[in-house]
Chains A and B, each alone.
Chain A
Amino acid sequence: MQRQWHNAVMAVAVCIIASGCAGISGGVTAGLEDVDDTIELTEVPFFPQVTDQCGPAALATILNASGVGADPEALKSRIYIPGREGSLQLELLAATRAYDRLAYSIDPDLQALVAELRAGRPVLVLQNLGIGLAPVWHYAVVVGYLPEDRRFVLRSGDQRRYLIDARRFVRTWHRAENWGVVALRPDELPAQPDPQRYLRSVAALESVGATSAARSGYRAAVEQWPLNGLAWLGLGNASYAEGDLDIARLAYQAMLDLEPGNLIALNNIAQVKAEQGCIREARDAIDQAFSILAPGDPMHQHLRQTRREIEARPLADTRACRVAL
């Protein structure tokens, strides 16, 4: 009886292992079939990892490749957590922003990874070298792919040029949810840009006070997606934060043209016009917003606040405003 039970367990174990293998020999390396030329970014610098600090070493690698002179020792105080003997993904992103670089998470697939390499950008990846139940997390930087050997080239640990079998890499990467990130200069777009994710990266940069870098990011975004209202809103807000009210107003107006009746655009236009001394126009904009405001809209409180501020100003338009008209 006990023996039977034992056999059953073993049979299940064999099934699990076999199915795992079957999955791996299947389409795991999908996205690599079309890659028939060697890609290797030999210029990407290498920072050998000290003890358990693969995070600072890997981050220093992509930052330096992006033109930022940051060394692992300086990064250690930003991202290393002694009690966890490692670094968190979120803090890697935050530290990237601290150097005025966009931290852009690539699509979680090999195609996106190769596209970044082709664009000349190394990709920082998280790998799980263990298994689901006993994870062993490791950061490395992918710098190339050799189709003839079916191997990836990594800057990893103390290995400047670590060659890893493509399928093995894919498995370790997959167990870390295919997480990969590139460091972009603020005016640089990723190889396969997703508007929402790109704007989110720029907004994160903006929200920690890097408004100048964020403004470059939004400018790149409106050039790439001129019909995206959020991109114009971001450009408007970053310009506003930099004190460039004319550009801010034009950007908000562009958003409003794309999305007539957009309450955020109307609110911000009213605010900027009031600050420029065009009180009548500011009132018109805020009145228009209230005329289309639905009950319970989350913008309600915000619009009321803006209206209060506008009404507190004297109605006479300034001379500068009349000239602008």
Chain B
Amino acid sequence: MFSQFGHRFCIYAVALCLTLLPVLQSANAAIVATDAAIEIADRQQQIDRIDDVLARDNVRSLLVDLGVDPADASARVRALTDAELATLDSQLAELPAGGVGFVELVGIVAIVLIVLELLGVTNVFSKI
């Protein structure tokens, strides 16, 4: 009897969580919007904070490690907004870096076509 009650309680709790989830998320979204407005309003504080942000040092050294000239790296870090810095700080390695040359491009397309040819044509059509 008691365990049945416990079981039911669990179901209700999970259902409640699922119902509340969108509410909580939208509440967070509203808070972000206000924060954004405050950040814009609070320019002086932003300027004061710029040199203190740890992310700046971190991103700078990440760039230098990747072969960027140290002097350039400082200027580049200064050109980023705080939000951009935070993104680079946490995701620099995963973000796409566009840089393929046109010659490579033609080569890659050729390889893809050859692979498709090998996989798709010879195997698929002979077996089915």
Query: Does B90 belong to the interface (CB within 8 Å)?
Result: no
Check: A49 CB closer than 8 A to any chain B CB. Answer: yes
Closest CB of chain B to A155's CB: distance in Å? 11
Using known A-B contacts A81-B66, A233-B40, determine if residue A87 contacts B95 with beta carbons closer than 8 Å. no
User: In the complex, what distance in Å separates the CA atom of A298 from the CA atom of B31?
Assistant: 9
The reply to whether A207 and B43 form a contact with Cβ atoms under 8 Å apart is: yes
Complex partner residue of A157 from B105, B119, B123, CB under 8 angstroms:
B105
Q: Judge whether A95 and B108 touch: CB under 8 Å.
A: no
**In the complex, A25 has a CB within 8 A of chain B:** no
**With A83-B67, A264-B37 given, is the CB distance from A138 to B100 under 8 Å?**
yes
Kindly provide the distance from the CB of B13 to the nearest chain A CB, expressed in whole angstroms.
Answer: 27
Distance (Å) between the CB of A289 and the closest chain B CB?
13
How many residues on the A side are at the interface (Cβ–Cβ under 8 A)? 69
Q: How far is the CA of A176 from the CA of B97 in the complex (A)?
A: 11
**Contact residues in A for B48 (Cβ distance below 8 Å):** none
How far apart sit A178 and B125, CA to CA, in the bound complex (Å)?
34
A24 close to B (CB within 8 Å): no
Contact in complex: A129, B81 (CB < 8 Å): no
B residues less than 8 Å from A204 (CB atoms): 81, 84
Q: When A52-B99, A88-B95 are in contact, do A136 and B128 touch as well, CB less than 8 Å? A: no
**C-alpha spacing A168/B118, complex, angstroms:** 22
Q: A residues within 8 A CB of B38?
A: 264, 298-299, 302
Q: How far is the CB of B78 from chain A (nearest CB, A)?
A: 7
A244 cross-chain contacts in B, Cβ below 8 A: none
CB distance from B102 to the nearest CB of A (A): 3
A230–B98 touching, CB < 8 Å: no
B65 at the A interface (CB under 8 A): yes
Is B68 an interface residue, CB under 8 A from the partner?
yes
User: A13 — which chain B residues lie within 8 A by C-beta?
Assistant: 119-120, 124
Does residue B6 face the partner (Cβ distance < 8 Å to A)? no
Closest to B77 in A: A94
Residue contact B98 to A81, C-beta cutoff 8 Å? no
| Contact residues in A for B100 (Cβ distance below 8 Å) | 52, 54, 86, 129, 136-138
- Are A206 and B41 in contact, with the CB atoms below 8 A? no
- Asked whether, in the complex, the Cβ of B82 is within 8 Å of the Cβ of A128, the reply is no
Any B CB within 8 A of the CB of A234: yes
Any chain B CB within 8 A of the CB of A97? yes
B54 proximal to A (CB < 8 A): no
- Whether B68 and A82, one on each chain, are in contact in the complex, defined by CB atoms closer than 8 angstroms, is yes
Note all chain A residues with C-beta closer than 8 A to B101: 49, 51-52, 54, 157
CA distance A11 to B125 in the complex (A): 10
User: Within the assembled complex, what's the spacing in Å between the Cα atoms of A174 and B92?
Assistant: 22
* Residues of chain A in range 169-228 having any CB-CB distance to chain B below 8 Å: 176, 200, 203-204, 206-209
The answer to whether A233 and B41 touch across the interface, beta carbons within 8 angstroms, is: yes
- B52 within 8 A of partner (CB): no
Contact B40 A54 (CB under 8 A): no
Tell me if A10 and B127 are in contact (CB < 8 A). yes
- Residues from chain A with a CB closer than 8 A to the CB of B76 are 78-79, 91, 94
Best-buried of A128, A157, A207, A241 by chain B (most CB within 10 Å): A207
Considering only CB atoms, which chain B residue lies closest to A131 in the complex? Answer: B112
Residue A90 at the chain B interface, CB threshold 8 Å: yes
CB nearest to A202 among chain B residues: B40
Residue among B84, B103, B123 making CB contact with A93, cutoff 8 Å: B84
A77 touching B124, Cβ below 8 Å:
no
Residues of the B chain whose Cβ atoms lie less than 8 Å from the Cβ of A268: 41
A302 and B42: CB pair below 8 A? yes
Q: Which of A77-116 contact B (CB under 8 A)?
A: 77-91, 93-95, 97-98
B123, closest chain A residue (CB): A10
* Other A-B pairs, 7, CB within 8 Å; known A6-B127, A86-B96: A10-B124, A52-B101, A83-B67, A137-B98, A138-B105, A264-B37, A302-B42
* Contacts from B to A (Cβ < 8 Å): 34-43, 46-47, 63, 65-69, 72, 75-76, 78-82, 84, 87-88, 92, 95-105, 108-109, 112, 119-120, 123-124, 127-128
- A-B interface, 7 closest residue pairs, ranked by CB to CB distance from nearest: A86-B99, A157-B102, A83-B66, A82-B67, A86-B97, A84-B97, A94-B79
